[in-house]
Structures are given as structure tokens and as C-alpha cells.
Amino acid sequence: MSEILKGLNPPQLEAATHTSSSILVLAGAGSGKTKVLTTRIAWLIQTGQINAFELLAVTFTNKAAKEMLLRITTILPINSRGMWVGTFHGLCNRLLRTHYKEANLPQTFQILDSSDQLSLIKRIMKSQSIDEVRYPFRQAQYFINSHKEEGLRPEKVELIDDFSRTFLEVYLEYDRACRNEGVVDFAELLLRSYELLLQNERLLKHYQQRFKHVLVDEFQDTNKLQYAWLKLIANQGACVMAVGDDDQSIYAFRGAHSGNMLNFETDFAVDKVVKLEQNYRSLGNILDGANALIKNNDGRLGKNLWTDQGEGEPIRVYRAMTDGEEASFIIEEIQALKNAGADLKNIALLYRSNAQSRVLEHNLFRSGLPYKVYGGLRFFERQEVKHALAYLRLIANDNDDGALLRIINFPTRGIGNRTIEQIRDSAELSGASLWQAACAARLSGRAKSAVSNFVTLIEKIKADTHGFLLPDLIEHVVDKSGLTEHYRKDREGKDRIENLNELINAASVFVSERTSSAYVEEPYPDADGGDANTAEIDPLIEFLAHASLEAGDNQANAGEDALQLMTVHSAKGLEFHSVFISGLEEGLFPHENSINEHGGLEEERRLMYVAMTRAMRRLYLSHSQMRMLHGQTRYNIESRFIDEIPENLLKKINHVEPSVNNSFSTSYAGSQKTENTVSGFRIGQQVTHAKFGPGVIVQAEGQGADARLEVNFREVGRKWLALEYAKLSST
């Protein structure tokens, strides 16, 4: 056996060495799928079945792509240059950069991130005098992106009502503006790439013949357009390995189509399905609990995670009276884990909704435990960084209207809204870019001088930095633009200046990585059958694309040991020694919106499955009978997800039931119109009804034969019941 293949278990070995046809790999959480993917790539190259240029590997994060390349180069002494390994967006950007002419794009096209896209949509809607209250900007953004992800240009969109008609008009104007400015959004990268291949048979054939093996990670998260793109690329007999887990499909709100995994078996004539079920992350009780939970979903492809590492400790379940009490319990347990030697960075506190973090953060602050909110504002999304990038974008492409609007009066240089409106009007009348309009603007007085100074500034920076290395160029721009001086006067300017300096550092690292691992292309035949030369991409253009595509995380201070707070969605792909899942209440997790959505409850259950399988050694589940959320007190019952875990796997840690005279009475029930107890029943008490099932008492009135209770039932919502006839039982 090859040294490369040593250490693989039998299913992993089968998946890594299968070559006769396309294959579907059902890879459970913690089952070593990254190892299988990288081993397969290295094995294919080592055995001479393909060279590095003949492989296409798709990941869902830049981090995963970098990790995969690092592992491959560690296994094999090969140069990764020329390998097509990256995200869908990254690979499509690469394709469009290489064939920008065929794609009808300028060579210097820029990528709009989500906030830049929203800014452009706002400008368009304001120019069309569209009521932003009735037609929200973000809804227009969703309308555009969702249709692009379905592969639909404006002319193919079906009109349902006047509402969609208005958004379609925005889509049409937005599409025109992007083409004029030479910019593309994330969805456009994929759609334009798909159209490029679909409409250019010669180009399509080139790549179909080139890529003999295609590997796709996190296949369950692909949307319809991504799936269509893959089908196009691999349509000439390429051997495709799709690796995914239908039980971890949690991105339907982003357009992910879990049905792609079922379609894959038919569309690619799959005759082999390999299941990776041995888990190397979690102990037995955690896996058994997750398996029992997910079995309640229908239509699964089916697998059962197991481990040889032992059962471990039971899953701890804590039932609190209030959300504050729940937070206190969590913090006490974290303190105990820390005192026992656990690193805080290896402990995660998960919640379904960002709104839940408030009470947790408040209690953490009081306790003095260091923490960070994972997945917060990314480096390249910080205000000062985006300003600097806008200057760079305008230098690279003076038709970039969005970049110009961001910086034309930042730092303040006396160019007001009225002047900007005049420039925009001039641009619309002449069909020119805002830069062209600014250069030719017929203004007077202070406005003329201010705009002229701005134009001169940009032109001088362009001239002065010609031939500069990328880090030196950015340093010059940060200095001469006035950004450093501006933030030096700002109260919070120190941190912002540090971020600007970090941007220069980021450019230095980028140049270094680009030099050692930048991709190169095989010659692509021109129309006459010869080799067409591919011009090297300008480092600035490439860096700006990198900044837009980069999926960095909001990190704590370097070297700081901190507790990790995050939503369950953000936890996907991560693992921790100990995991706390808070707020396990009906209406919160599963979310109340899921009940009325097709497949919503099953997606919530998959989300819970993902949350549970993040834990390696310890798993805590907690819920509260009462919770302050969105300014209101909510009375809750325990999540059905806890009920779906076998009792023998659980260790319930229940609080001592409070008396009617304690703080619960005064803090929470004092505002109610009746006493806290009625005939032995208490507000906040969990009860069961023979017809309506489990619920929690939220209000009470009357005494004796006139006593009534309002119960919030899990399945049927709130109902008033006459206690004399209700026949409630306590739980």
C-alpha cells in the first residue's frame, strides 16, 4: 500500500481510491472528509492518473481551500501553482479574469461585496424615487441575488404582482449600472461564468477536456446555479467526487438545495455511495444523542455516526427559571472547566438567534470572563479599511462609481450633496461615469475648486505610484488620501489607524503568498489554433479581488484565551472540547417561523444536529421557562429536540423550584393580573393536557370553580382553560 494511503479506515480508503466512475461520499461530522479529499488528490497525482492542471477541487471557504493545498504540498513535493482549488466564487473570478474579453468584462473589473452592492441599489432606488418603506433596500438586494442564483436575468423573471414589477425595474437598472461601471457582485461571478461556458462551445470543450477529476466539498450546500455550473464543467466524462452530509444542510435561506445530493446520483450515473460513519471528534453519548435526534427527519440518505473512543459523560441538561439564571449556570460551569485546566478558546457558547447574546454577554462582562463574538465585523468590512480600498478601486478603475461616491468627500473636502447631485445628473445626461462627469463638471466657486482638487489628488496618486510595489502603493494612498491624518484627530482613531497599517501588512503577506503560490494557466488555444498569451493580472486588481472574496473572522486579540460566542450557523465546520447550546425552547430553537415553512422544522433539526456534533467531550443543553427577548417576557416550554434525545443519554440538572414569595414573583409575575398560584398551579409551570399535549402556564385568574389558566401549548399555541374541566397534569 502507498504511504499516502496509510492511516485510512476501509470506507475512507475506498473513497480515496475509487476512479472508475463518479462517487457520492456521505461524510458525517468529524469523519475525516478533508483527509479523504486531500489524500485522493495526492494519490491521483502520485500514481500518474492526472497532473495538477487536470484537477478541479471546490471548497466552500477560502480557509478550507488553503488548508487543502497545504496538506497536499505536505504529502507530495509538488508545486501547487496551476491547481484549481478554491471556492465557487474564487474559481469563477479566476475564470473570468482569464477570459474577460469573452465574458464582455473589462480586464480591471471589480467585485462588489454585499455592502457595496447594497449602496448601489440604494442609489438606484433613490434616483427612481422608489418608496424605501414600501420597497426596502435589502429586499431589493435579495430579489436580485436570489434570481441570479436561479440563473435568471431580468428579462427571464416572471412578474407576480406590482411589488415584483418594481423590484424588476430596479434589477434592470442595477444590471445596466454594473455593466457600465465594470463591476460584478458575488452572484454575478457565478452566473457570468456559467453563461460564458454555456455560450462559448469552444471554451467549454477546453475545460471539459482539461478537468478529468472534479472534487466538491460540502456538496449539500450547493445551490441550483452552482450545481448547473458543475454539470457543465464535468459533462464529458469527468470523474466527480461529491462529498457532503445531507444531515448538515442548514443554508436553505442562502439558496442551498439539499436535493442536489439526490439528483447527483442520477445525473452523474453514480454506482457507488460510500458512507464515512466513524467519527474521530466526539464521544459516544454525544453521537448517540445526535443520531437519535436526526432520525426524526424524513428523506435522509441515511448514516449512523459511531466512535471507538468510548461513551464519555452524559449530555447535561439544565432547566432554568429565567434567562439570567440560565446564563449564571453556564458561566459557573465554564469557570469550573477553566479551573480544571480547560482553555476558554476550546469552549463554545452557541445560540440560535443573535438577540440571545445580550443577557449572556451581560453576565460574562460581570464575571470577568474574556470572550469574543465569532463571526462579527470582518477586517475588510471595517469602515476605515473600506475607505482605503475605495481609493485603490478608483485608482484601478476610474469608472467605479461606488468607489468614487464613498471617498469624494471623505475625508471632508467641501463637496456637498448638492454638488454630488450635479455630477450625477451630468453623468446620466451624457452617459458617462461619475469620474468622467467630475472631470468635466461645470461648477462654480468653492464647489468647482473642491472637485478639481479631488480629481487632481487621484491623478497625482496614480502618477506618483506608477511602478510601486503593492504595499508601498497602499501606504502612499493611506497617507496622501488624508485618511491617516483624519483618524489621528478621531476619538477612536488609534484603532482605525492600526487597521490601516494592518491593511499594508495584509498586502505584504498577499504579495508573498502570490509570489510563492500564484496560479498560472496552461496556454489556451486562440481562434487560429495557436496559443493565446495570458497577460499577468495586475497585483492591485488581484488584491482588490482578494479583499472582496476574503472570508475572515473577527478575531480576539492575538494570543488571548477567550470563550467563543456564536450562532449555531457560525459554528458549522468548527469543533470544541465543550459546547453549550442555550435557549432550547419551543419558538426559539426550533424557531417559531420554521413551523409554517415547508421543510422548516427539519432544517431546524439539522441545525441542532450540527450544534451537537461540534462537541468533542462535553455537551450542555439549557433552556429557560421565562426569557426577556425583543423587550418582552416570553414563557416557554422545553424544546422538542431535548425530548427526541433518549433519557439514558441525559443527565438533568434541575434548579430548586422557587416559592411563590421569591424574586420570581416580584420580578416576572408581579405585572400579571392575578396571583401566582391557582389551585396548586403556578405561572411558568410546565403542564400536560390530554388533547393539546405539553405546555406552560402563562396567565391565571379566579379561584375554586371559577379558576382559569392560559396555557401556551407546544403544538396549538395559547388557550384559556377552565381548571375544573381541563384535567391538567404537572410535568
Catalytic residue annotation? 33-34, 217-218, 248, 614
Q: Which three cell numbers stand for residue 459?
A: 491623478
Preceding omega of 411 cis (within 30 degrees of 0): yes
Torsion angle of the four alpha carbons 595, 596, 597, 598, in this order, in degrees rounded to the nearest 10:
90
Asked if residues 696 and 670 have their Cβ atoms less than 8 Å apart, the reply is no
The residues, ordered by sequence, that sit 6+ positions from 374 with a Cβ below 8 Å of its Cβ are: 553, 554, 564, 565, 566, 570, 571
State which H helix or E strand residue 711 sits in: strand 708-713
Give the 3-state secondary structure of 145-184. Answer: HHHHHCCCCHHHCCCCCHHHHHHHHHHHHHHHHHHHHCEE
Q: HSE (CB half, 13 Å, CA atoms) of 82?
A: 11
Q: What is the C-alpha to C-alpha distance for residues 532 and 724, in angstroms, rounded to an integer?
A: 88
The residues, ordered by sequence, that sit 6+ positions from 258 with a Cβ below 8 Å of its Cβ are: 220, 246, 249, 252
What residues does 688 pair with on adjacent strands?
694, 729
Strands 531-532 and 524-525: antiparallel
Residues 512, 517, 519, 521, CA torsion sign: positive
**For residue 587, what is the DSSP state?**
B
Comparing CA positions, the residue from 727, 375, 387, 422 lying closest to residue 570 is 375
Start-end of H helices in 564-695: 568-571, 600-612, 640-643, 663-667
Angle at 183 between CA 180 and CA 187, to 5 degrees: 125
Which region, left, alpha or beta, applies to residue 655 given φ > 0 means left and ψ of -120 to 50 means alpha? beta
Report the SS3 class of residue 525: strand
Q: What is the C-alpha to C-alpha distance for residues 387 and 474, in angstroms, rounded to an integer?
A: 12
Q: Which three cell numbers stand for residue 192?
A: 457570468
DSSP per-residue codes, 617-657: EEEEEEEEEEEEETTEEEE--B-HHHHTS-GGGEEEEEPPP
Residue 51: count other Cβ atoms within 10 Å of its Cβ. 13
Q: Which three cell numbers stand for residue 29?
A: 461530522
State which H helix or E strand residue 124 sits in: helix 114-127
The residues, ordered by sequence, that sit 6+ positions from 9 with a Cβ below 8 Å of its Cβ are: 32, 278
Start-end of H helices in 377-488: 383-396, 401-407, 417-430, 434-439, 445-464, 470-480, 483-488
Residue 420: count other Cβ atoms within 10 Å of its Cβ. 18
Q: What is the C-alpha to C-alpha distance for residues 191 and 422, in angstroms, rounded to an integer?
A: 35
Report the SS3 class of residue 517: helix
Cα→Cα distances 211→85, 176, 232, 239, Å: 12, 34, 12, 9
Phi and psi, residue 287, nearest 5°: -65, -40
How long a stretch of residues is the chain? Answer: 731
To which residue does cell 461524510 refer? Answer: 27
Burial class (CB in 10 A: 0-12, 13-18, 19+), 339: exposed
Q: What is the C-alpha to C-alpha distance for residues 614 and 229, in angstroms, rounded to an integer?
A: 31
